[in-house]
Structure 1
Amino acid sequence: MSSAHRLLSPFASCQALTFSLLLLGCRSETAPELTRLHLAATPDEAALGASALVRRGYLGHDWWGCARDGAALRLLHPDSAPLRAWTILCVARSGGDALAQADAMLSERPGDPWALFARAGALIDHPERGAEGVLAAREALAAMPGHPDAVWQLGRGLVLHGSHAEIAAFFAEQPQPALADVLALELAHASSARDSSEQRVFDLAARTRAADPRCVDAEFLPAQWLLQRRRPAEAAPFLARALELSPHAPALHAELWHALQQTPGLTASEQRAAIDADVVLLLQSRGDDPSALEAAANVYRDMSPETHDRLVADLLARFPASPAASSVRHARLTALAYAHDERHKQNAPDLAQDAHLRRALDEFLAGPPPSSRQLADAYRFRYTLVRDDPDATPAALLAAVQEWAPHEQLYLFVLGPAAADLAERTPYAAEAEAIARACIERAETLMTRARTRAKDAADLAHSSAFYLAPAYEALGAVLLAQRRHPEAREALEKAYSLTRDRPDLFVKLAALAEAEGRIGDAEKFLIEGSAVWRGHEVCDRALRALYVRRYGSERGYERHREQLAAGIREQRRQQVLATAIAEPGPLPPFALPKLGGGELRSDALLGRVAVINLWSTSCRPCVAEMPALQQLADAFAGSRDVVVTTINLDDAADHLPAWLRERDLRLEVALGGRYAMDNNYTTLPMTLFVDRSGAVVFTKDAATEQLVEEFTWRIEALRDSRPGG
């Protein structure tokens, strides 16, 4: 037995022999295929074979390889429109300027169906113009009606950019049995949906495999689905088959490395040896592929920093203008900017490190053009340096915001507050208002897509709270700074109607109320805001300052605050209880190992009110609310009809006992990462409130500032209700 095979012994029940043979050597399919092309009977057959080869490389996730092969084959077949079109699609997926190539093809061949096909593919993968690709794909299909490639491309455009209704209609319209590539699209759509069942994913994979045994996605997508649910041993045979079909694709190898890192039973040295072996194989065949170097560097980031640095240096030296190099430089910038933010939060400035970040930003912006997202991030990082500099002038702050604003299309929840800060700290209120209104326009654009893809009203409400609420809050703050109170009230009330989870919004509502002489309303807003996450810190500071402005000192403040809180407590309780699920469903059953031994079973909770908190040590809000959760558990420790328990989602549990001891946490902990993924519990922290009959009546996503109080209200409501009622 080979050493690589021994290292993969946990996969013994999952076709380990095939898997380990892949680690020992990937067979090359490209060279034999090229040989067969040269032996083709006619030039037309050779051109068709060349196009098919590039197409298969694309569908096999070997995008750099198929772009390279396509460019070489076009020298032999310069008039082959399908070959040129599929090569352009490969360029799009490998990060090249595919749209320029597609436009050139269309200019040379006006109205040519394959030129339309190429342009649609380039648009679908464009970082900013993806939605246009759907219209272009429809045009291409109209020019080549019924052509399998054109049908596939329209489906791909819809899966990436269309509405749920459009996607469902597309798949419903396909003839039966459907084309393998279309089935693979349906599989991709199902495997990415949070509510897809395991049976649906694997049924689609089987149908796709039956329609085309060489379809890589029939193997790769189920593997991804399983890995997302922390089931690496089950993912192994799918990855083995995918790598047999497309042995040189960096994306497939990266998923293999991810599986090895997740596999229980492998020691760190065993993981390292297996990954080393496979990285060598990939770089032997794709050492000139920047994306392969980037993938290899990423897997070594924590496992072997020196190897990571060597691969990054190689990538930057050999391919400085590649998208992979930009991604590496962007990752470095992000790490520096994150460190700056942490220092700022801790009030521990480091001028030398800030100067280092500033130089890195200048070099990044002066270097090869990055992606639009990376460019926006770089200007955002530069803005934060100016914002946090106590010596920055108002003009410098204005310049930093205006430099950043045109590029920011997504992180409007950061750009909006920057506009508000500009209005409050500088005389540039008009400029700040223009940026805030631009945020609203961009948020509405994002909501147009969100409305078509939202699964239900709750999903749409979440998108509105994420995109629109911060934009309207920013506009309200800017108008408030200009003392345009009626307009400010309209904007802030709009934000308040969209979300009640932003403490800074309550501060701005209170500031408006105080400016209008409504002191009682101002205090109520701040008390209400103090109950949301981070609200106690943000809103209590504002409430205390308001009290000092009214009474000249803090004397008597604590008593005053408690009286205010008592007055609004019943209103808050009713708001919390109003979040009960209209039609409660059963708690998904589980039998999970407990930290320290034993098992936690869902059926053992029947007859009691259960509070189940899902958490991870990597989730900061989870960690922050754990002491309060311990207080809740202590408060009900003597109750026979209430149980407070937790499910931890960390990949490994070895560190948990010491981690809990350090924080004096004695909570019951079950280990259930797979359980959470299988049941789409993906927001952390998440708390389930289960009645005596086993129905989930309340859920609380995200952390809670007043945890003991609000969780107790839910518990008491379930205690008072009839079983199942």
Structure 2
Amino acid sequence: MSTRSPRSGPRVGLLLTGILLVCGACGGGGAPPDYTAEELEAAKARLRDHARLRTFETGKVFGDEWVARAPHDAELRGLYAYQLVGWGLSREVHEQADAILADDPDDPWGLYTKAYALLVEGEAKPAHEMALKAWEASPRPEFAFLYIQALRRDDFEAAREFLEALDEESRATPEVFRMKAELESQARYELQDPTWADSSRATWTEFGEMFPDHVLGYMRLANEAYNARRMDEWTPLMEAALDLAPGSMEVRRQHWRGLWMSELLPREERHPAVEASMGAFREASPETLRGLNGMASMYREMDDEESAAELEARVVERDPGSYHASMVYLAEMRGEDEKLYELREEHGEDSPEYRAQLAVVRDAVHDYLDRPLYGDTYKGGAYINLYSALKAMDPVPAEELAEAIRGMVEYERLNPHITYGDAPLAMIDHTPYALEAADLVREGVPIMLERVMESRDFYDTEGEFDQALRGALSGIYDVIGWAHFKAGRTEDGRHTIERALAIADRNRDARYHLGQVYEQLAAEREEEGDAEAVTEWLDQAEDSYIAGFGAGRGENPNETALEALYERRNGGREGIEEYLATLDERDRIRRRERILESRVEAAGTYEPFHLARLDGELVDSADLEGKIAVLHFWGTWCGPCVVEMPEYQKFDERYREDPEVRVVSISNDRTNDVIEEYLAKNNFDFTVLVDDDYVDRAGVNAWPTTWFVDPDGYVQFVKIGTALKLDEEFSWRVEAIREDTTSP
């Protein structure tokens, strides 16, 4: 792999450009260009300036003109393509790459541009392979930057090794030096070492000192300050960025959100301040679709729907088939889906308001799909919205649901567990296409397993990863077996579902499905008059439901099936409560055993903290020494966190007066206002500490997460995700630690 200096090429490129321009002007190859070599080089320099300042709005307008004037200059097209990347216009970036490569299939600028088009579309592997070819053909800093940018998404360690192998001159260019900071930021997650955040911050600071005319250094440090709520640092950094690039939408968006979301200004002054910044942006930048869309998006964040709609209407009117018009259509569709969620939370799924909104969502998705869309990127999400709405209808429209699922299979790539798991189940249960559903699952097996393998680093132990892999395989067999059963192939269904349970015996859906199969076999034996076989099959059905009963209540289908089976066998519901009560106790015993078995094998201490309460009082983690501490990480933005907060409030109240126990929650919401409003609305009064980037330093990357710490400061239990019965299950952990502490 070559690691030559990227500065060894430009002089040659400039000389060749001059020669070609002279030849083009003197030869017989057509009309001479309407620009000089110096003007062309100045145009390229201006495009680089726009990249340096992130002023993509002006950069695209300028590039449009120059590419029309010098269509065969590969470097110009490549620099122009970077402006298009800033707009998210993958199709147009592809067009620029194809135009360059049509003249020369090996042109490094063409390879670079094609790599960028692939990266914008999320195709990291082919992107870094293409970028490497560009770098090896012409080691320029732009090519090294793109290679590292794409490679780090696919192979973080390889990206670091490439960076370290570059010579000193290459590493000192702004493009490559930027990637040093980006990789250090990524390292805190990849290497699970929060100290890399400090390294990244230091590198960005050095970047700003080395390249004071590059706006990105100020933006990154300002974002760091904003996330840590250090607004005294944020303000001068943003002012420096705005002085450099008053017409940059990226800079302005960061400025607007800081003004609106932080406590820098009184609430009544925030909207006028954002609008004043918008006015300055309009003066500094030409009116573009990207700019209009960015301002509209900010207006929506400020709940100014009228202003947002006005700007979005202008986007659609100017170019209804554009990328940004498609973003408007997407926002409209998502808005109806968000209303559905709000109505469910407010009124419940059985309410007439919620039921009516299901049809609105269905129509909104069809409207979106009928629009002149820029591309297919968001169609998968649209079909998921459509599928979810149709599945919740009563009755379920079978043919529409089947078409929605087929659309998911064609376009959806982000949620294979839905596309190849939940959706085929719904197709089996609500349509006549059970065997088609089985084929869909088989088609999705490589995708689902690949997704599980990609998540390997999220598991702390091999056992946890093995459990996840078994769960995925079990789910695949379960759906295929259920499809066979519903298609009338009872024995095939039974054997396949039994195989699913042999892989993962806690698969509650498979337990339910197998119970249904056994009941069907009992019905068949009943027709044959074989009473003994009927009893045996019903006993097996009951055992299957009971085994699945302890896997989780709520929406657990085993509970309903078990009650129905009890009524069938006993001719009514008399005595059912006593029967179910014994099952509850059995379930409770099983859960407690599993929780106590989950104690951390090699307990360690945690990152100390000094965090402020909502009232400003500082809490030092040293104050928790000598007590059993429960540290609960959450946020109002986290759906699972919010669901279990009533139970968390009960748990907090249980130990509030206990002198040996301290229960503390740490929220990483953006503002105190959000937290206070949420607590007041729900009448919660548990202790909340405000995150100051502590979650990054401590390595917390999933919500909710809860640590159970012994009096010596060692984390004995870690719970990631929601609990089935939080108050009860958290208490078991606390009392287990207390018992260990007090035991002689």
**Category of TM-score, reference length = shorter chain:** 0.7 to 0.9
Partners of 2:518 and 2:656 in 1: CA distance: 43
Taking a change above 3 Å as real, the CA distance of residues 354 and 425 of structure 1, as seen in their structure-2 partners, is: closer
CA apart distance, 1:582: 3.4
Map 1:691-706 onto structure 2 (within 5 A).
691-706=710-725
| Residues 634 and 666, structure 2, Cα contact 8 Å, conserved in 1 | yes
Determine the structure 2 residue equivalent to 1:38.
Answer: none
Partners of 1:469 and 1:231 in 2: CA distance: 48
Determine the structure 1 residue equivalent to 2:662.
Answer: 643
Map 1:115-134 onto structure 2 (within 5 A).
115-127=110-122, 129-134=123-128
SS of corresponding position for 1:214: coil
Partners of 1:232 and 1:505 in 2: CA distance: 53
Determine the structure 2 residue equivalent to 1:180.
Answer: 174
Higher relative contact order (CA 8 A, sep 6+): 1
Q: Deviations over 1:461-481 (max 9, x none)?
A: 798699877666544543453
TM-score by length of 1: 0.83
User: Are 1:527 and 2:549 matched, yes or no?
Assistant: yes
SS of corresponding position for 1:684: coil
Taking a change above 3 Å as real, the CA distance of residues 81 and 711 of structure 1, as seen in their structure-2 partners, is: same
Map 1:64-463 onto structure 2 (within 5 A).
64-96=57-89, 97=91, 98-127=93-122, 129-144=123-138, 146-159=139-152, 161-176=153-168, 178=171, 179-192=173-186, 193-194=188-189, 195-197=193-195, 198-303=197-302, 304-340=304-340, 346-349=349-352, 353-354=357-358, 356-391=360-395, 393-415=397-419, 416-447=421-452, 450=455
SS of corresponding position for 1:683: coil
Mind listing any 5+ residue stretches in structure 2 that lack a counterpart?
Answer: 1-34, 522-536
SS of corresponding position for 1:647: strand
Q: Deviations over 1:267-314 (max 9, x none)?
A: 122212221111112123334322221221121114222222222222
| Residues 446 and 467, structure 1, Cα contact 8 Å, conserved in 2 | no
Partners of 1:677 and 1:152 in 2: CA distance: 26
Partners of 1:651 and 1:418 in 2: CA distance: 35
Taking a change above 3 Å as real, the CA distance of residues 435 and 328 of structure 1, as seen in their structure-2 partners, is: same
CA apart distance, 1:427: 2.5
Partners of 2:704 and 2:127 in 1: CA distance: 37
CA apart distance, 1:122: 1.6
Partners of 1:234 and 1:503 in 2: CA distance: 52
CA apart distance, 1:352: 6.0
Which one of the candidate residues 555, 576, 597 is aligned to 2:574? 555
Taking a change above 3 Å as real, the CA distance of residues 302 and 107 of structure 1, as seen in their structure-2 partners, is: closer
Q: State the number of aligned residues.
A: 673
CA apart distance, 1:435: 1.7
CA apart distance, 1:359: 4.1
Determine the structure 2 residue equivalent to 1:61.
Answer: 54
Partners of 1:724 and 1:677 in 2: CA distance: 36
Mind listing any 5+ residue stretches in structure 1 that lack a counterpart?
Answer: 1-41
User: Are 1:478 and 2:483 matched, yes or no?
Assistant: yes
Partners of 2:236 and 2:517 in 1: CA distance: 61
Partners of 1:510 and 1:215 in 2: CA distance: 65
Q: Deviations over 1:684-720 (max 9, x none)?
A: 3322211111222222122212212221221122223
Map 1:620-635 onto structure 2 (within 5 A).
620-635=639-654
CA apart distance, 1:457: 5.5
Partners of 1:286 and 1:462 in 2: CA distance: 54
Moved more, 54-63 or 703-712: 54-63
| Residues 448 and 472, structure 2, Cα contact 8 Å, conserved in 1 | yes
Taking a change above 3 Å as real, the CA distance of residues 75 and 314 of structure 1, as seen in their structure-2 partners, is: closer
| Residues 514 and 541, structure 2, Cα contact 8 Å, conserved in 1 | no
CA apart distance, 1:334: 1.3
Taking a change above 3 Å as real, the CA distance of residues 706 and 439 of structure 1, as seen in their structure-2 partners, is: same
Query: Percent of counterpart pairs with the same letter?
Result: 24
TM-score by length of 2: 0.81
Partners of 1:176 and 1:461 in 2: CA distance: 44
Map 1:644-659 onto structure 2 (within 5 A).
644-654=663-673
CA apart distance, 1:95: 2.9
Taking a change above 3 Å as real, the CA distance of residues 256 and 327 of structure 1, as seen in their structure-2 partners, is: same
Taking a change above 3 Å as real, the CA distance of residues 55 and 661 of structure 1, as seen in their structure-2 partners, is: closer
CA apart distance, 1:619: 3.6
Determine the structure 1 residue equivalent to 2:11.
Answer: none
Partners of 2:159 and 2:319 in 1: CA distance: 38
SS of corresponding position for 1:300: helix
| Residues 546 and 562, structure 2, Cα contact 8 Å, conserved in 1 | no
Taking a change above 3 Å as real, the CA distance of residues 521 and 457 of structure 1, as seen in their structure-2 partners, is: same
Partners of 1:723 and 1:207 in 2: CA distance: 53
User: Are 1:590 and 2:595 matched, yes or no?
Assistant: no
Partners of 2:243 and 2:703 in 1: CA distance: 37
Partners of 2:430 and 2:110 in 1: CA distance: 53
CA apart distance, 1:104: 2.9
Higher CA-based Rg: 2
Q: Deviations over 1:482-537 (max 9, x none)?
A: 4322223334655x48xx7x865664466567778434642443332126xx56x6
Q: Which amino acid aligns with 2:439?
A: A
Taking a change above 3 Å as real, the CA distance of residues 675 and 544 of structure 1, as seen in their structure-2 partners, is: farther
Determine the structure 1 residue equivalent to 2:703.
Answer: 684
Partners of 1:372 and 1:326 in 2: CA distance: 10
Taking a change above 3 Å as real, the CA distance of residues 175 and 400 of structure 1, as seen in their structure-2 partners, is: same
Moved more, 403-412 or 193-202: 193-202
Q: Deviations over 1:345-378 (max 9, x none)?
A: 5212457655544443333222222443321222
Partners of 1:229 and 1:472 in 2: CA distance: 47
Q: Deviations over 1:49-85 (max 9, x none)?
A: 3223223323433334323222222344444221112
Moved more, 259-268 or 614-623: 614-623
Partners of 2:59 and 2:44 in 1: CA distance: 10
Partners of 1:411 and 1:468 in 2: CA distance: 16
Partners of 2:227 and 2:516 in 1: CA distance: 45
Q: Which amino acid aligns with 1:530?
A: G
Q: Which amino acid aligns with 1:330?
A: L
Q: Which amino acid aligns with 1:481?
A: K
| Residues 214 and 245, structure 1, Cα contact 8 Å, conserved in 2 | yes
Determine the structure 1 residue equivalent to 2:32.
Answer: none
Partners of 2:135 and 2:458 in 1: CA distance: 27
| Residues 435 and 484, structure 2, Cα contact 8 Å, conserved in 1 | no
| Residues 47 and 80, structure 2, Cα contact 8 Å, conserved in 1 | yes
Partners of 1:164 and 1:508 in 2: CA distance: 42
| Residues 628 and 737, structure 2, Cα contact 8 Å, conserved in 1 | yes
Determine the structure 2 residue equivalent to 1:719.
Answer: 738
Partners of 1:530 and 1:101 in 2: CA distance: 54
| Residues 612 and 645, structure 1, Cα contact 8 Å, conserved in 2 | yes
